[in-house]
Structure formats: C-alpha cells, structure tokens
Structure 1
Amino acid sequence: MTTAHPRPRVAVTLGDPAGVGPELVAKLLARRENTAAADIVLVSDEAELRAAGADAGLPVEYSTEPGSGLPLLHDNGAARPAEPFERRRATAAGGRWALANLGLALDMVKDGRVDAILFAPLNKSSLHSAGMASNDELRWFEEVLGVESFTSELNVLPGLWTARVTSHVSVADVDAGITRENVNRAGVLLDRVLRDSGLDAPRIGVCALNPHAGENGRFGRHEIDVIAPAVADLADQGLDVSGPFPSDTIFLRARAGEFDGVLTMYHDQGQIAMKLMGFDGGVTIAGGLPVPICTPAHGTAFDIVGQGTADTGSVQNAFDLAVALGRRSRSTV
C-alpha cells in the first residue's frame, strides 16, 4: 500500500570521525523538521554520538528501540577500531570506521530496509589507508552493491545539476574515457536522475572537451567525432539536450537558467564552476546506483573541527535530496 507522501527510511552515517561530519549530523538532527521528514536510521555508536553532540553543543537525541519517533540507532560499536581516533588528520582507523558504517548502510539497502543513504564527509586518504582499493567511494559502492551499469558522480546546487563522463582519473587518462558510448550513458543518467528529482522535461547542456569547442577541429576533433554524435543520439532518444558548448561559457548560460543540468567531460570542468557558484550548499549524489546516496560536496574541514562553526548548508541540502529521492523511490514500491 502506498500513500501520497510516504515517509522514506534514510540511513545516516557520520563520515570520517576526524572531521566535521559528526558535528554536522548533530546539528542536522537537532532540527525537528528533519527528524519529522523521514524515518532516520543512525549507523554509528553511542560514543560517536556523544562526541558529535559535544562538538555541536547540542545533544543528539536517539533511541535504540523502533517506534519511538526519534532517530533509531543501529549500534555498530562492534566494528569500532581498537585504537582511538585522532582528530583533524587522516588515519587508517578513521577510514576503517567510516567504511564499516557505510558498509552496514549498504547492507540495509540490499535487504530493503532503507530507501536512501546520507553520509557526512569522508577523507579519501583515510579510506585508502584503511584498505579501500577503489579510486573513490562511488566505485566502492558499485563493488559492494554489485552494480555493473554506468554510474557517475552528480553535483547539485539549487536549480542546477551536473554529471561527468569521466571522474576521478588522471587528466592524462581523460581522453580515453571520452567515447560516444560514455557520453550517451552519462547523458541518459543525468536525464533520469533529474526526472527522479521531479523535473518532467529537464534541459541538458553538454560541455565540449577542447578550448572553444575545438574550433572546427583546429584544437582537436572530440567535438566533431564523439561528443556531437552522442548529443544527436540523446536527442533521438527524446532528451532535451544541446551542445557541445565551450566549457568557459556554458555555466554562464546555466546560471542564467538556460539549463537544468550540464554534462561535463571531466572532474574539474564542472567542479570548479559549481563550487564557485555555491560551495556552501553543494551536494554530491552517487548516480546510477539502486538507491540514492547523498553527501555534502565539501570535505572533512580538519581545520575547524571542534570549533562548533561548521556550516550546515550542504548537509541540509544533501539530507533534503535524500529524503525527496527516497520518498519517490518508496512511493513506487
């Protein structure tokens, strides 16, 4: 049975314990409108929640019993590393704890117990020190969930989304990833996620790879041989898509409201523009997975840990997206 506005079940992890993630989650949960918006499952332990509340200057209210109306703690203390966490620096212990909690949240996805995941900022050095062999958490999510289809990190500001054809690879390796098939897959994914967010007919602009969109082949033929044909393929599938446009002007058009989404060719092509336009409110979504997974677009901010000053703009936006996408997913069950 479904309802018009079903309450989604959202798993929340506090990210790297050395960073501002625990403080951000404590502040998020202190807002009654947030705890009323979803059935929240905290994947953590009581020691971490106490520390989070101390940093935020706000006690974290939770319950270990379902049905209380409070966020439900799924205590993962058995997975806590024996060594104490060092604050304000990347460590293997912090990475192991972050991975253990995310792994449990992904198990909940597999079992159908949650509709979305929100995780506070991670530190890739910590994750790799802890043994994560994947380049980033998205590839790790793919492995854990057994996903073999195309995935992409999506970055979101209010009114504008981006997806990438290539992501966490060396700039020297970007060229090999710019294929007609990959541009097509990334465009389809961006269109689908925009529709899942509630847009009926999203407008997508596609970035060129080369300066001035290649200047008719003078600066490279990617636009002629790969990107433009892929844009035509996407249009043939019914997407409202246009380009390729020079990357030094496309975001001016997007900021003016011409596009709902921008498809970029590589990481910094979109990230620099998005962070300049809204660093304090940006959200990253792991796109192409069987469940929405959202996180603030900023990092662990070791320099301000323990000061109680971490801004909640991005984590609030990430939570709101996790709730909205999780509700939409749940309403189709």
Structure 2
Amino acid sequence: MSANRPVIALTLGDPAGIGPELVAKLLAENDAVKDTHTVLIGDRWLWDEGQRVAGTSLELPEVASFSEARQHDCPVFLAMDTVSPDQVRYAEANAAGGASVLAVLGRCIEANKAGEVDGICFAPLNKYAMKLGGLGHEDELHWFVEKLGVTTFFSEFNTLGTLWTSRISSHIPLKDAHSYVTEERIIAAASLIYDTLKKAGFAEPRVGVAGFNPHAGEGGTCGREEVEIIAPAVEKCRAQGYPIVGPYPADTIFLKARDGELDAVVTMFHDQGQIAIKMLGFDRGVTILGGLPMPVGSPAHGTAFDIAGQGKANLPPTRNAFNLVKAMCSQ
C-alpha cells in the first residue's frame, strides 16, 4: 500500500443510463485504477446490475467510510441506499434517478471537505433527471461550485487529451451569450485553462481565444466585440505572463488546434466549442469541471438512453476521464 496514492471517488451515474455498465467495465480492467485508492460509491443493487449488463463479476471489499480506502490495495465499495430498483426504468429520466445522483455526489463532496477524497470521477448523469430530483442550478458544475464554496471563476473544460476547450459562458440561452463577453471573463477563462493544463502535465500550454462574431468581426465591420473586448483581454493576459493568442475566427481556430498549433481553445459560448470538439473525437472526450479545489471529471458523452442496459457502452471516454482525474490528483 502507498499512502501517496490519491483517493478517487467513482460513481455509477444516472441509474437509467449506461453509467453502471461503464463502471463495471472500467473496474474489470486490471490496470484501470492502478496507483490509486479507488472507492466505488452507490447502491449495491445498481452495481450488481451494472456487472450483469457488462458481463463482469468483480468482488470488491466493502467499507463503511472513505477513510478506510487507504487500508486496501484494490478498489473498494462504499454502499449507499439512494434509489430502489422499482423506481428505475432504463432510458427513463426521472426524479428518483436524479435525486440518487445528487445524494451520491453530495457524499463525495463532504468526503473531500473532510480530507478523505482527492478527486471524483462520475459516470454519465442526466441534467433533466437531476433537475427533477432537486437540482436548482443550470448544471452540475454550478451545483459543485455552491457546495464547495468556490468564489473564483470556474468553467467546464472538454478535452480529447491533447486538445482542450473552455468557454466563458455555458448552459444559457444563445440570446444571452453576448452579455458574457467581457474582458474579466475572458481573462479568467484563459488563465484558468492555462493553469489547469499545467496541472495536467503540459509544460508550456498553447492557448488560443476564439472570436465572437463571424470572421472574428472582420476588423469591426461585422461586430465590435473582438476589437473592443476580446483583443484587449488577450493583451492583458499576455501582460500578466500568460502567452495567450487570438482572437481567431471561430470557424478556423479549430483547424489550428487539429493541426497541433494549439493545446486549448477558449470559446465564447457553448456550441462554438462543443460542436467542433465532439466532431473531432466524441468517442474519446472527457469533461473536467474547472476551477474547483479538486479534480472532477466524467466522460463527455451523456447517459446514452438508446443503448442503456444492452452491454454496448463504449469504455474509452470513461477510462480517459479516470486517468485524467488520477493524473491531476498526482500533480
């Protein structure tokens, strides 16, 4: 046993989706959780169901608390009773499933506050189910921020490993996106992803900023945000010691990223980056909740209700998410 190994909480995700199956497949890989103290947390019946769907039969020692994890060299199971089998139907988002996710993640957060957990990797969840189950925020990131008392800038990051994206606004109506285009938010988003890339092992991160308007405003003739807000924000980043570049037109910046000229792209709204990065690698993408006091990650895809319970779930994004959380815990 090594006291230096990070303790990582691993959750089963939405009970009606592919999360339990993915977790079963992940833990069945011999090297998947190497060099960690992994605590699988959730309902016993749901773990058993995930194994049934995945065709695995792994026995995990059961613990009563996260603090016991360091006593074991193998993954352990921490049982919670959050939802019953008769409350769950595959491919159905409901309040019971959403409340279950919130209860499990809440327990993980409390363990982090107590110094018992270093990072969290959660299987896919369903925002609609979570809102039915009591989530009063626009997404899980804002919920984490409130629970952890974060007061500084935060952002969801999406990554394919060698390419990351962040954004200055997230799950908001597109008609409101322009109001988030401020120097303060751009500087915060760019510096946060730069610092996070450092923690993820990038020696000298190359971060580019996208424009807001078509063709990055065409010198101010097709929108003034680039001239009046975005370019000055980039210059202020550079003055602070961050080698940020841009703004580049949003319809070409990802060509630079694809060709290896950039490690990360700061986008101005959700779909500007999400469409590009999912086209480049939806089958391997990872979501990191940036700006939190601990690494929190998940596969970038959703609950895949169309294949839930069928044993068809694709493991690589979940494996990548776990590996990235592990790497960030070790920095």
Category of TM-score, reference length = shorter chain: over 0.9
The answer for the alignment partner of 2:304 in structure 1 is 301
- For the pair 1:282 / 2:280, whether they are aligned, the reply is no
| Aligned-residue offset at 1:121 | 0.5
| Aligned-residue offset at 1:35 | 2.9
Task: Choose the corresponding residue for 2:322, options 309, 319, 324.
Answer: 319
AA in 2 matched with 1:113 = E
Task: Choose the corresponding residue for 2:114, options 97, 108, 111.
Answer: 111
The two structures, once aligned, show a CA RMSD in angstroms of 1.4
| Aligned-residue offset at 1:60 | 3.3
- For the pair 1:28 / 2:26, whether they are aligned, the reply is yes
Task: Choose the corresponding residue for 1:243, options 228, 242, 246.
Answer: 246
Consecutive unaligned residues of structure 2, counting only runs of 5 or more, are none
8 Å CA contact 2:45, 2:85 repeated in 1: no
- For the pair 1:70 / 2:86, whether they are aligned, the reply is no
Provide the C-alpha distance between the structure 1 equivalents of 2:182 and 2:80, rounded to a whole number of angstroms.
Answer: 42
Task: Choose the corresponding residue for 2:175, options 154, 159, 172.
Answer: 172
Task: Choose the corresponding residue for 1:42, options 36, 40, 43.
Answer: 40
| Aligned-residue offset at 1:83 | 5.1
What's the TM-score once normalised by structure 2's chain length?
A: 0.95
8 Å CA contact 2:83, 2:97 repeated in 1: no
SS in 2 for 1:33: coil
SS in 2 for 1:205: strand
AA in 2 matched with 1:16 = D
SS in 2 for 1:286: strand
Provide the C-alpha distance between the structure 2 equivalents of 1:96 and 1:190, rounded to a whole number of angstroms.
Answer: 31
The answer for the alignment partner of 1:161 in structure 2 is 164
AA in 2 matched with 1:76 = M
Provide the C-alpha distance between the structure 2 equivalents of 1:244 and 1:35, rounded to a whole number of angstroms.
Answer: 40
For residues 85-129 of structure 1, the C-alpha deviation after alignment (integer angstroms, 9 at most, x for no partner) is 121110111001111111111111111111110000011110010
Question: Where do 1:258-273 residues align within 5 Å?
Answer: 258-273=261-276
* Identical-residue share of aligned pairs (%): 46
Task: Choose the corresponding residue for 1:15, options 13, 16, 40.
Answer: 13
Provide the C-alpha distance between the structure 1 equivalents of 2:324 and 2:152, rounded to a whole number of angstroms.
Answer: 23
- For the pair 1:195 / 2:193, whether they are aligned, the reply is no
The answer for the alignment partner of 1:331 in structure 2 is none
| Aligned-residue offset at 1:61 | 2.6
For residues 66-92 of structure 1, the C-alpha deviation after alignment (integer angstroms, 9 at most, x for no partner) is 434331212112x33585212111011
AA in 1 matched with 2:30 = R
- For the pair 1:233 / 2:229, whether they are aligned, the reply is no
Q: Which runs of 4+ in 1 moved over 6 A?
A: none
SS in 1 for 2:234: helix
Provide the C-alpha distance between the structure 2 equivalents of 1:83 and 1:245, rounded to a whole number of angstroms.
Answer: 52
8 Å CA contact 1:205, 1:245 repeated in 2: yes
What's the TM-score once normalised by structure 1's chain length?
A: 0.95
Question: Where do 1:113-128 residues align within 5 Å?
Answer: 113-128=116-131
Consecutive unaligned residues of structure 1, counting only runs of 5 or more, are 329-333
Deviating more after overlay: 274-283 vs 302-311: 302-311
8 Å CA contact 2:44, 2:80 repeated in 1: no
| Aligned-residue offset at 1:204 | 0.6
